[in-house]
Structure formats: C-alpha cells, structure tokens
Structure 1
C-alpha cells in the first residue's frame, strides 16, 4: 500500500479528487486531482525553479468534502493540507510557489505576507512533523 518517494520538499496531490464541488470529472472523464498533477508537472517542465519540489500523487487524501486537495510537506517541518483549487496552471503555480517558500523556511512556517494570493483561503489543516507539536 505504501510506495517510497523522495524525502524532500514536496507537494502530494490527491489524484482522485473531484474536479469541483459540483463535478466529479471533466467531459473527458478526468478527475480534478489528476488534472492538477498534470498542470504542476507541465509548469516544472517549463520553469526550472520548480524542479526543487517533488510533485507526488496518490489516490485519496481522505478530504473528500473538498476538491483538488494537496499536502505540502518537508522533512522536519510543519505540513499543510490545502484544497478547493481549480485544477489549472494558476492554481498549480500558486501551490508550487508556496511549496518553495515552505521549503526555504526553517520549520515550514511561511509568513502570511509571503503567501501567494492563489493559496489564501485554501488551507484546511496543518500537521506537525513527527516527534513535535506546534507551540
């Protein structure tokens, strides 16, 4: 059930997430999460700065009340689950930009003033790194 991935700055995308609150998939049968993964990987292919982030996908993050859900994480850092994105290049860029800032931070805490506009209002939960809780 588990598959090893790179243990570095990453964004895990729920590949089976709904397209939107009202739609499960697009006219071609593609889920929103799969489209979001594709948009992120397309951006990585176009812009080398995004290569620092591992885009990983897995079926179901269990945030099924939301759509297009991702988990931003890094070793020893606070992680964040975000959702309700439109699976397009703008959302992909905002998520990747936030993940780069998260990776550059000491503990995974990015000042609100440094959040890309496209992630504001999308945070669902934060997760402490293994062996720690937040103060």
Structure 2
C-alpha cells in the first residue's frame, strides 16, 4: 500500500471501485458504481461554486464492501462519517455535497438532523472520532 498526499481540509473521499448496487457490480457498459459516483460528485461540484471549497477525492476500496457506492466525509478535528447505498447519480451527489458543506461548516462534524438533505438520510454506515478524541 502506498499513501498519496492530498490537499488537507474538508473532503468527500469516494470509493471508486464500489459496486453499482446490491445485485450488480457494474452497469451495462462495465462501469463500477463508485466510478460513476465520483463522476457525479465532480459534475455536481462543478455546477455549483458554493461547493468549490470541498475536495472530492477518490481511492480504491473503503472496505465497506457489504454496502455499495460509499463515501467518507472527513476534516481535521471533526468526527468522520462513512455513508453508502447511494445510486451513483446527480441527486445523490448533490445530497452528499450539500451535507458535506454543512459538515465542513460545523464545529466538530455534527450537523443537526433537521438540516440534513433528504438524500443522505438512511445512508450513514459509521462515524469515526478524530485522532486524539472520542465522542461523548
């Protein structure tokens, strides 16, 4: 394994090798769901300058293989989240990035439920404490 440095700051790290769905690894053209979700995230970000401060990064396998189309939200000093079970489309990408923007603006990574975009509800898999902290 090789670690590649990336820009620090709030980021959505997408698994580019994730399955398309519970039942399918790829679409009819042989494209993985994760690769399609990365495309959708980048397109949604390019369409809205308010999302430019978020990094969209990709890597192979987040080890959430029991799920599909997974992303990891992270930022220094904040609780991180892994979300999954998304359709790799524009609506999901927009919801992920809208939540990520709220997350980036939060103090410790917690966004009040009433502010969550509908498209992320039910997609949270796990949360991880930032280095040197646990959640009370």
1:71 aligns with 2:75: no
Give structure 1 regions of 4+ aligned residues with deviation exceeding 2 angstroms: none
Aligned equivalent of 2:88: 87
Query: In structure 2, how many angstroms separate the alpha carbons of the residues matched to 1:99 and 1:58?
Result: 18
Q: Deviations over 1:65-96 (max 9, x none)?
A: 00000001111100000000000000000000
Say if 2:45 and 2:97, in contact at 8 Å, map to a contact too: no
1:13 counterpart SS class: strand
Query: In structure 1, how many angstroms separate the alpha carbons of the residues matched to 2:40 and 2:9?
Result: 20
Shift in Å, 1:107: 0.3
Question: TM-score scaled by structure 2?
Answer: 0.98
Query: In structure 1, how many angstroms separate the alpha carbons of the residues matched to 2:121 and 2:48?
Result: 23
Aligned equivalent of 1:11: 12
Aligned equivalent of 1:117: 118
Query: In structure 2, how many angstroms separate the alpha carbons of the residues matched to 1:50 and 1:35?
Result: 19
Aligned equivalent of 1:43: 44
Query: In structure 1, how many angstroms separate the alpha carbons of the residues matched to 2:74 and 2:92?
Result: 17
2:87 counterpart SS class: coil
Unaligned 5+ runs, structure 1: none
1:12 counterpart SS class: strand
Unaligned 5+ runs, structure 2: none
Query: In structure 1, how many angstroms separate the alpha carbons of the residues matched to 2:112 and 2:45?
Result: 24
Question: TM-score scaled by structure 1?
Answer: 0.99
Aligned equivalent of 2:106: 105
Query: In structure 2, how many angstroms separate the alpha carbons of the residues matched to 1:45 and 1:122?
Result: 24
Tell me the C-alpha RMSD between the 2 structures: 0.5
Query: In structure 2, how many angstroms separate the alpha carbons of the residues matched to 1:18 and 1:85?
Result: 10
1:52 counterpart SS class: coil
Shift in Å, 1:45: 1.5
